[in-house]
Amino acid sequence: MTLDKSSKIFVAGHRGLVGSAIVRKLHQLGFSNLLLRTHSDLDLTDQSAVAAFFSAEKPDFVILAAAKVGGIHANNTYPADFITINLQIQTNVITSSYQHGVKKLLFLGSSCIYPKFAPQPIPENSLLTGPLEPTNEWYAVAKIAGIKMCQAYRIQFNFDAISLMPTNLYGPNDNFHPENSHVLPGLIRRFHEAKLLDAKEVVVWGTGSPLREFLHVDDLADAVIFSLEKYSGLEHLNVGSGREESIKELAELVKQVVGFEGEIVWDKSKPDGTPRKLMDSSKLMGLGWEAKISLRDGLVDTYKWYLENYKQ
Ligand SMILES: NC(=O)C1=CN([C@@H]2O[C@H](COP(=O)(O)OP(=O)(O)OC[C@H]3O[C@@H](n4cnc5c(N)ncnc54)[C@H](OP(=O)(O)O)[C@@H]3O)[C@@H](O)[C@H]2O)C=CC1
Ligand SMILES: C[C@H]1O[C@H](OP(=O)(O)OP(=O)(O)OC[C@H]2O[C@@H](n3cnc4c(=O)[nH]c(N)nc43)[C@H](O)[C@@H]2O)[C@@H](O)[C@@H](O)C1=O
């Protein structure tokens, strides 16, 4: 069955950064039969509730964008939550999708699945070739299990489950928590609050030397719908912008976009995490997808969203 405008599509995690971008894009494209449940309507860690939901609703397509997600501090501080909740959600959703006749499922992992010292840019076949970055190994192990479950169900049952591995994402509906967020939304908030208080300095974590590849979530949403339409294979596919910035360059850019005029101070007691994780996204690009939004434009758009949606 191919995706069409009346296909019944369950977007799990539709209020999060990624899920909300996918829903925006599906609506723009004219998809009219979306199945959406908040966390309080349906707890995806509850196996029997998930099975009952699939049995009653029988979606045609499933996009799994619900997960326990956080930045380096959250991953490092709550390892039990990151491994357990993610294994539960993905196991429940993948098994119920197969059992209740879903035509195609798309699972989202993350670039942290790759070894800490993987070759750069990281090709898909670097998976399981070396030790993981310790600050996020619990989350990474759950995500690797998700890829392997999709592959196992394809091999044993011919179930059309595919996996995308996005790089570090940002955009509207991101998590701007001061400690538990990812670096980009965390810095938007910190620089903005410092500007309002006329503070002399802003503290940024680590040494500033790690390199990260940032992708606007609207570009990822394009990749998700593109892959649902065009890709059915065993191998997971990387999704990145192909551009990388050091955390120092990112901090300078956020400072400029927000308009903070003080100094940046580095807290070297905080972990740097992986030194570099630029992904090789040539497989997906070879199929015809490409990132369109520059980091500066994406940051301006995200700061605007933050100003309009966060209480000052
Ligand atoms: N953000 C990033 O930089 C990256 C994200 N990804 C992947 O993209 C996917 C989405 O991430 P992102 O949008 O950033 O995360 P968010 O935290 O923004 O959104 C996650 C969503 O999942 C929901 N959720 C969490 N637990 C449950 C549960 N038990 N039952 C039902 N719903 C639940 C949340 O609802 P609630 O808030 O109500 O709990 C929320 O809506 C994840 O798989 C993540 O690994 C991959 C690479 C990078
Ligand atoms: C998407 C990805 O996200 C996480 O991995 P990460 O790339 O290390 O993500 P991060 O955004 O938290 O940090 C990037 C870099 O930035 C530095 N940094 C500076 N100042 C702040 C700061 O204020 N907040 C945060 N969070 N980081 C900061 C920080 O020290 C690090 O060097 C994992 O959850 C992983 O599981 C995963 O998949």
Q: How many angstroms separate the CA atoms of 21 and 173, rounded?
A: 8
Q: How many angstroms separate the CA atoms of 276 and 24, rounded?
A: 31
Q: How many angstroms separate the CA atoms of 49 and 8, rounded?
A: 19
Q: Which atom of ligand 1 is nearest to the CA of 109?
A: 45
Which residue, judged by its Cα, is nearest atom 2 of ligand 2?
A: 168
Q: Are 287 and 230 in contact (CB under 8 A)?
A: yes
Q: How many angstroms separate the CA atoms of 150 and 10, rounded?
A: 17
The answer to whether residue 29 scores a pLDDT higher than 90 is: yes
The answer to whether residue 312 scores a pLDDT higher than 70 is: no
Q: How many angstroms separate the CA atoms of 8 and 10, rounded?
A: 7
| 30: alpha, beta or left? (left if phi > 0; alpha if psi -120 to 50) | left
Which residues are known to be catalytic?
Answer: 139
Which residue, judged by its Cα, is nearest atom 36 of ligand 1?
A: 39
Please give the pLDDT value at position 310: 84
Strand, coil or helix: 25: helix
Closest-approaching ligand to the CA atom of 171: 1
**What is the distance in A from the centroid of ligand 2 to the CA of 99?**
37
Closest-approaching ligand to the CA atom of 254: 2
Closest-approaching ligand to the CA atom of 238: 1
The answer to whether residue 311 scores a pLDDT higher than 70 is: no
CB of 66 closer than 6 A to ligand 1? yes
Give the torsion through C-alpha atoms of 124, 127, 130, 136, to 10 deg.
110
Cβ neighbours, 10 Å, residue 190: 22
The answer to whether residue 284 scores a pLDDT higher than 90 is: yes
Express each pLDDT in 196-250 by its tens digit: 999 999 999 999 999 999 999 999 999 999 999 999 999 999 999 999 999 999 9
Instruction: Give the strand pairing for 61-64 and 34-35.
Output: unpaired
Q: How many angstroms separate the CA atoms of 24 and 124, rounded?
A: 28
Which residue, judged by its Cα, is nearest atom 27 of ligand 2?
A: 183
Tokens of 89: 């959600």
Whether this model's ipTM surpasses 0.90 comes out as: yes
Cβ neighbours, 10 Å, residue 285: 17
Average pLDDT of every residue of the chain: 98
**What is the distance in A from the centroid of ligand 1 to the CA of 264?**
30
Percent of the chain with pLDDT over 90: 98
Single pTM value for the model: 0.98
123 pLDDT band, cuts 50/70/90, is: very high
Q: How many angstroms separate the CA atoms of 190 and 27, rounded?
A: 33
Express each pLDDT in 144-198 by its tens digit: 999 999 999 999 999 999 999 999 999 999 999 999 999 999 999 999 999 999 9
**What is the distance in A from the centroid of ligand 2 to the CA of 177?**
13
Cβ neighbours, 10 Å, residue 104: 23
Cβ neighbours, 10 Å, residue 56: 8
Which residue of 113, 133, 136, 182 sits with most ligand 2 atoms within 8 Å of its CB, as the best mutation to test the pocket? 182
Express each pLDDT in 252-274 by its tens digit: 999 999 999 999 999 999 999 99
CB of 16 closer than 6 A to ligand 1? yes
Cβ neighbours, 10 Å, residue 179: 12
Which residue, judged by its Cα, is nearest atom 31 of ligand 2?
A: 272
Q: How many angstroms separate the CA atoms of 213 and 244, rounded?
A: 4
